[in-house]
Structure 1
């Protein structure tokens, strides 16, 4: 199999839960050799479901498989001298170290960025935490634990996501983890590119809070330019119309046609030339001011038709899409054509199960999972023996 664009890059992965492992999963899909360093009890995500019938009880569930595919596993107890020495040896030969411990944990273990970069000046040391690191800017919340839900609340996402009566609703996927993790993967690849010229590594930090605030960039400029404090608006958009989730006879449909040309075409397709020609709806700004009327006019047409009928009429003409569940998505020919469902084996079952594919596509160096997620310490004996040899060589070199 052709290697990915990061083939040859060596990553020591100290992360757990979701944000950090998502980062290193992206790097693994891109071809990096990712060694997942776990404590004796393993990453806590190993114990999360769902687990298929007949699976190895010592293995893992779908959660762990999805975000730890393509990695190797070694158990090291970093609280012991032997474990810390092994990690130093691995870091000395690595391109990247990634961790998502609470700020200060690695410093107390004697494994900080400064200490590891002394023996490997080219090392890119990357972190993703709730509220960052003092190396990149202090925060009053530095020692606060953070989860997706908390960050969605604090950084503005839930402030604009919810029902029109002001009740906040969290976004379904764990974007408070996944988006920061994606940003960190970008930061790591940028730092690796810079290292090729400078010969020096650096510290790369993403705070979950910061990443979600950046994701909510619209509320920042809205508040700065107008003084407004945007709130929850249901499925509508404060600046665009139509931009709605509308009822269909068998579910829901999304229609977004704020461009004036798209609006006119939409009106023609639903046989509402009166709306097309009405001066009160001719521009997006006018439609935003009367978006309740726009919604009612469109809903009157969509509610009597099935999703399939609506898509047959509007598809390819204006931006439209059915609200789908995962069973419908799995059956979508687009998903198959784009290889967005990847099958991986699961230990103990003899079966293969789907995980989400890689949306990054390359013409020569494909990005895709190259192996299932590892069992705990599956690669440990060889890795520890190699690390011990390196540690001994480093000790001799220092003396």
Structure 2
């Protein structure tokens, strides 16, 4: 795989170095899929994502992680050991060829990389790098940012959820806070996606300045996982202050705005229902009445969402009398026919065989010399142009020789 294979994407000609683990992996995947030449600089043992389970059945070693197969798609792999003087020199040269570098090392490391000392930079870290390569955009993704009293605190995806306050809003009213979104690093995905936005804008601004005859300078971009989480979270962000800092209790799998609004049990799983508009509520009430003979639910007083919120437990119980009698697919089909906003809560298995996703061709096959053929998700959006470049994830060090040869 070479940069030429990225030639039809809108970011063809841009080189991005990925020095990160999970906190930058999704963002650099987006860069690569849109045509940039993304090079993962890996230590001799490989990127930590290569060891993340689940592993492909029957496989072991640096190519077995299914996370790596997904996150590293369309990227190149170069193995360099910064503690080796020759590799350190190659890394500095490689950085000089890049337009963007993403780094998730702790601030103390980014401020004084020892491998820069041998290059006459005095171990000045990021400041020395950008001084030497002013065209470069350097993106730092750290737990609490590059400045401030907590800049040296270590973190994780879970710590980031807790520190931004969002974990306090997830869970049931009388239970403990819960980690959002299961085992995946959604907040790290959010940070890396913001890194993509910031670095793409930086490259665009640099190119515009150069075209106008002005200095074509890159940017240093500082992302804090805590601040990104606070930006994303409405419960702990600005609305909290608009509500005069009134604490919001955990709401479980329902939303106490009105009823029905949230997750409701079906005979084989759950469905999500939201009935705020009068027409939606009337349709739900009529369906419950037809099925259970409930006359009270037809009372016009319940058209008011405030009334339904005050009678939330009773209304939820009435709705559950309906939902528990059908499968989630039956509820979906009949609910849609009645123009009620309702949808199944899909499992991974449901999605893999979802007729809509199959019809639009969203899933696509991918070939790998070790893992064989497997199915992966398609693009998050489509365009009239052919923007997306899809290649398999690289094997460890697969492109080291080729990339280093480009530096000579």
Q: TM-score, normalised by structure 1?
A: 0.88
Q: Deviations over 1:3-54 (max 9, x none)?
A: 22222211111112x1111221111111111011111221122122333345
Partner of residue 89, structure 1 = 93
Q: Tell me, yes or no, if the aligned pair for 2:164 and 2:236 is still in contact at 8 Å.
A: no
Given candidates 180, 186, 211, the residue that maps to 2:191 is: 180
- 1:146-165 matches, cutoff 5 A: 146-165=155-174
1:41 aligns with 2:45: yes
Shift of residue 334, structure 1, vs aligned partner: 2.2
Q: Tell me, yes or no, if the aligned pair for 2:166 and 2:236 is still in contact at 8 Å.
A: no
Given candidates 224, 238, 261, the residue that maps to 1:207 is: 224
- 1:27-176 matches, cutoff 5 A: 27-53=31-57, 55=59, 57-109=61-113, 110=116, 112-134=125-147, 138=148, 140-171=149-180, 172=182, 173-176=184-187
* Cα distance in 2 for residues equivalent to 1:13 and 1:127: 11
Deviates most, 19-28 or 237-246: 237-246
Q: Tell me, yes or no, if the aligned pair for 1:13 and 1:98 is still in contact at 8 Å.
A: yes
Change (3 A) 1:128 1:170: same
1:250 aligns with 2:268: yes
Partner of residue 236, structure 2 = 219
Change (3 A) 1:97 1:240: farther
* Cα distance in 2 for residues equivalent to 1:81 and 1:285: 69
* Cα distance in 2 for residues equivalent to 1:200 and 1:240: 52
* Cα distance in 1 for residues equivalent to 2:77 and 2:85: 20
* Cα distance in 2 for residues equivalent to 1:35 and 1:262: 51
* Cα distance in 2 for residues equivalent to 1:231 and 1:29: 40
Shift of residue 338, structure 1, vs aligned partner: 4.3
Q: TM-score, normalised by structure 2?
A: 0.86
**Structure 1: unaligned runs, 5 residues or longer:** 390-399
Classify the secondary structure of the residue corresponding to 2:139.
strand
Q: Tell me, yes or no, if the aligned pair for 2:79 and 2:396 is still in contact at 8 Å.
A: yes
* Cα distance in 1 for residues equivalent to 2:259 and 2:186: 26
Given candidates 287, 300, 308, the residue that maps to 2:321 is: 300
Shift of residue 255, structure 1, vs aligned partner: 0.5
* Cα distance in 2 for residues equivalent to 1:30 and 1:330: 24
Change (3 A) 1:323 1:195: same
Classify the secondary structure of the residue corresponding to 1:315.
helix
Q: How many residues align structurally?
A: 381
Shift of residue 67, structure 1, vs aligned partner: 0.7
1:196 aligns with 2:207: yes
Q: Tell me, yes or no, if the aligned pair for 2:56 and 2:64 is still in contact at 8 Å.
A: no
